Structure formats: structure tokens, C-alpha cells
Amino acid sequence: MKLQFEIKRFNALSTLELYQLLQLRSQVFVVEQNCVYQDIDGKDEKAVHVLGKMDDRIVAYSRIFKPNDYFDNASIGRVVVSENARAHKFGFDLMQEAIAAVGSEFGIQPITISAQLYLKKFYESLGFQQVSETYLEDGIEHIEMVRD
């Protein structure tokens, strides 16, 4: 089973794609993680969106930013895979696609992420290293990580 990836700027997203990606983010980050926070943060317009689709449905998603739009470095955020698609290990494929998209969109350079602490080993397997102490973001432990 393989995802079909598309890389799109905000104004290229269809209404259906925007609805599906916001629905996926809300389902996982707000409902599943029981975390009330403002997901629609005004940054989607600046982001480049990485859509992982199966049967024309977004089941994996992240957004990337050029340097200084979120962190000093280029960055990847809102990394999410739908619950029913996680058994296929799409998170790794999604991150590889997002890392490649940073390179193709902004050039090869360091990438910063704000990672949930429990995913530290996953991100280390992709070449990220912890560069901060643990901090709370929306009530969840996070660490800043960088991939050179």
C-alpha cells in the first residue's frame, strides 16, 4: 500500500482538500489527543502543504515553511496520519516527502521541528537531533529538534 503525495501552496488547494486536511488535523490534534487549541492559526496561507492521499482522501499531511516564517530555519509542522492509516507506517513516508519538499521548495538546509516528546526516537530515525529542553505546547510535552 502506497500513498500518492501532492505538494501544494495554499491557493492551489481545492475546497475539498482544505476541508479534508483541516478535518484530519482536528480529528487527531484536538479530538484524539484531547487538546483544545486553535489549530487554524493563520499560518496555513504561508505554508506549503504536503498531502498524502489514498483513494483521493487525505490520510497523511504536513506543512512546511521557508526560513523565518515559523522558525529561523525551514520547518515542518502539523505532521499527522489518520488513525486507520498508521498501521501502514505512513508517518515515515510522510516525513521523507516533507524533507524532500523542503529541499525542492527552499533548497537543502537545516530543518527545525517542534516534536511531541514521545515521538523523539521516530524523528531521530529521520536524522533530527534534540536541541532544546522539554517544554509544554498546548499542554503536551514537546522538544525542538533540528536536522542539518
pLDDT of residue 79: 96
Q: What is the pLDDT of residues 21-34, one digit of tens each?
A: 999 999 998 888 87
**What's the pLDDT score for residue 138?**
83
Tens digits of residue pLDDT in 55-90: 999 999 999 999 999 899 999 999 999 998 998 889
Residue-level pLDDT at 33 = 85
What distance in Å separates the CA atoms of residue 50 and residue 47, rounded to the nearest whole number?
9
pLDDT tens column, 106-142: 998 999 999 999 999 999 999 999 999 999 988 889 9
Which domains are assigned to the chain?
4-108 (3.40.630.30)
Burial of 111 (0-12, 13-18, 19+ CB in 10 A): buried
Distance, in Å, from the CA atom of 13 to the CA atom of 33, rounded to the nearest integer, reads 26
Q: Say what the pTM is.
A: 0.93
Main-chain dihedrals φ then ψ at residue 33, nearest 5 degrees: -90, 5
> How high is the pLDDT of residue 87?
87
User: What backbone torsions phi and psi does residue 105 show, to the nearest 5 degrees?
Assistant: -85, -40
- The residue-averaged pLDDT of 34-56 equals 90
